[in-house]
Structure 1
Amino acid sequence: MIVFDLCCQSADHRFEAWFRSSADFERQKRDGLLMCPQCGSADVEKAVMAPAVGRKGNRDSGAPSVHTPQGEGAAPVPSTASAAGAERGAAAGLPEAVKTALVQLADLQKRVIEKSRWVGRSFAEEARAIHYGEKDAEPIYGEASPEESRALADEGVEVAPLLFPVAPPDKLN
């Protein structure tokens, strides 16, 4: 996973988001899946980022000073304004209530995903089968193109986008 500082070009809002790779960022941008969490604008670009360089005093640990999410069950579900980002000051422009709400939303999404089945690119097909009673109802999550999502909505299939990008289970570290 890689974290990028992003900037809303419409209103100069700054936030961070986690991606599987640079290519994943580019794909999500191309597919219109990136939005500013403050104003909803899809005009989002990578912001200039400073490298994470540890202080000279960190040499004895033998490890670079790079922040990664910690704790039991550390979420593979990225947050656009995680506590880690707040610690580094990446989300310094956001009010505390917004930061807290985003962290809580990311945690909620993580818990929902833990109780759901990953169906990958067959999400639209699986959602239709459940909607039309061809398969037993169960919580699922996966990938769908914007066109597939619109088609599901037009058919009355109840789906909701995940608020934060998710790496497929087979791609997690």
Structure 2
Amino acid sequence: MVDKKIYKETEDKMKKVLDNLKSDLAAIRAGRASTALLDKISVDYYGVPTPVNQLATISVPEPRMILIQPWDVKTITSIEKAILKSDLGLTPTSDGKVIRLVLPELTMERRKELVKMAKKKAEDAKVVVRNIRRDTNELIKKMEKNGEISQDDSKRWQEEIQKLTDNYIEQIDKALTNKEKEIMEV
């Protein structure tokens, strides 16, 4: 078994990559409203970039509508601007007290674009996981070269890291498959 500390650090890094991917995928809309769509949107609040969910109550009163109720009504225009600048492709409507985001029905073309976006995010996550594996293997080889571990241990550790990498690549693929199904549901 790989030195527990090295293995744990590698696993923690890979887990963070998977968690980031899952939050990125949650932000891709799949036809129905979700407060997670606004997680990546920041608003300039008195010169400080602040997430929308820290400036307002966000709810989903209907399957295809998000309601944003700012605590400070002066932030409404800033929130609207941030939503318009984002890659959500939504136009906010406001009555001066609340902002409504109505999600239009997704066309098949838009669904395919969203799937492509999800695939790109998943591929990026796989690249990061593989880079983590490479860095850990370089560390193991360096330890072998310095005589800290034997050649057999080095080979065994690298195999353990490969198994860990395969596991996380599989989880990334599973997360992508689930998101594709969610997006393509008509």
Q: Same fold (TM over 0.5)?
A: no
Please report the TM-score for the alignment, with normalisation by the length of structure 1: 0.22
More helix by share: 2
Higher relative CO (CA 8 A, sep ≥ 6), structure 1 or 2?
A: 2
Please report the TM-score for the alignment, with normalisation by the length of structure 2: 0.21
